[in-house]
């Protein structure tokens, strides 16, 4: 079972409010006070309602993203730990991919290492360690996360920190590179990734920039989901966090993320 259904009317109304705000193209904003989540558990419950409504068009949950993997990012958002978001089946693309800038309010691209699971990581198996989750990884690949901040005012994020959780950490999908199944030969902590737009380097980062190692992020996610009574399942895709600062993509750009051992992933923005 993917998630536990929360039937509290206030939570359901909050999820519907958020879904309609997206549908109408409204800017990112806090929920009305009477619907606003009071804690992280309620925020994830709202996220579940919102994602469930989107799933009617975009398919089942097929993976997860991890956001706010650095202390600096968490301070900016007013949160004390990373957060998780769901990815829906029809939003996960393969390289080379193409999207339209007009389909987003403000398209945000992040440059990540993704994993594909080959074994389940159920809630009953927690707590998980980096070494434990590594045994469940079938493949590793470079990835671009597609997000939409809906023209958020970043100066005000910390005033309503739970909204970022409720709004599914802004996820709109991902573009995945070719899966590398012999990843055991690669030092993922030392892996270097370079982000480029139209051939111009945007930045570089290393696998260790994500909580010390991408599998530390994966272990965090498995334990986080277990605390909510959820698990990770075979074939799930997990985005482990951005190695390079996010890039606001523009129509006409060609965006690449190149790694020295996992290959590249490419996106054309129309």
CATH number at residue 120: 3.90.850.10
State the total domains in the chain: 1
Cα separation, 221 vs 192, whole angstroms: 23
Residue 125 covered by a domain: yes
Of 194, 87, 185, nearest to 140 (Cα)?
Answer: 185
Is 234 inside any structural domain? yes
Q: Quick check: is 33 in a domain?
A: no
Q: In what order do the strands lie in the sheet with 192-197?
A: 97-99, 263-269, 254-259, 192-197, 200-206
Lowest mean pLDDT, pick from 4-18, 52-66, 183-197: 4-18
Give the pLDDT confidence of 156-173 residue by residue, as tens digits: 999 999 999 999 999 999
Give the pair of three-digit tokens for residue 95: 């390289």
Q: Is 238 among the domain residues? A: yes
What are the backbone angles phi and psi of residue 43, rounded to the nearest 5°? -65, -40
Q: Considering the chain, what percentage of its residues have pLDDT values greater than 90?
A: 94
CB neighbourhood size of 120 (10 A):
13
For 230, the domain range is 61-269
- 112-136 pLDDT, tens digit each: 999 999 999 999 999 999 999 999 9
d(CA 116, CA 92): 12
CA-CA distance, 251 to 51, in Å (whole number)?
27
CB 71 within 8 A of CB 212: no
What does DSSP assign to residue 104?
S
| Residue 34 domain flag | no
State mean pLDDT over 222-242. 97
pTM of the model as a whole: 0.94
Mean pLDDT for the stretch of residues 214-220: 98
The reply to whether 17 falls in a domain is: no
Contact between 142 and 264 under an 8 Å Cβ cutoff? The reply is yes
Residue 211 pLDDT > 70, yes or no? yes
**Model confidence pLDDT, tens digit, residues 77-119:** 899 899 999 999 999 999 999 999 999 999 999 999 999 999 9
d(CA 219, CA 216): 5
Q: What is the pLDDT of residue 2?
A: 46
């Amino acid at each position: 079972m993917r998630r536990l259904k929360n039937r509290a009317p206030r939570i359901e109304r909050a999820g519907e409010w958020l879904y309609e705000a997206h549908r109408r193209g409204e800017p990112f904003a806090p929920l009305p006070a009477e619907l606003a989540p009071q804690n992280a558990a309620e925020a994830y419950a709202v996220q579940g309602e919102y994602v469930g409504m989107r799933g009617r068009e975009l398919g089942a949950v097929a993976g997860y993203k991890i956001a706010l993997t650095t202390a600096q990012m968490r301070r900016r958002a007013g949160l004390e730990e990373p957060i998780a978001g769901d990815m829906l089946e029809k939003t996960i693309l393969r390289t080379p991919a193409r999207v339209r800038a007009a389909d987003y309010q403000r398209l945000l691209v992040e440059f990540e290492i993704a994993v594909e699971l080959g074994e389940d990581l159920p809630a009953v198996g927690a707590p998980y360690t980096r070494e434990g989750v590594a045994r469940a990884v079938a493949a590793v690949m470079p990835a671009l996360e597609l997000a939409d901040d809906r023209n958020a005012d970043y100066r005000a994020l910390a005033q309503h920190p739970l909204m970022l959780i409720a709004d599914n950490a802004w996820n709109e999908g991902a573009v995945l590179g070719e899966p590398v199944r012999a990843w055991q030969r690669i030092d993922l902590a030392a892996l270097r990734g370079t982000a480029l737009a139209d051939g111009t380097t945007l930045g570089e980062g290393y696998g260790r920039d994500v909580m010390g190692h991408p599998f530390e992020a994966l272990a965090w996610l498995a334990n986080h989901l277990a605390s909510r009574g959820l698990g990770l399942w075979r074939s799930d895709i997990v985005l482990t966090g951005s190695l390079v600062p996010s890039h606001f993509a523009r129509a006409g750009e060609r965006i690449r993320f190149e790694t020295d051992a996992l290959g590249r992933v490419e996106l054309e923005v129309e």
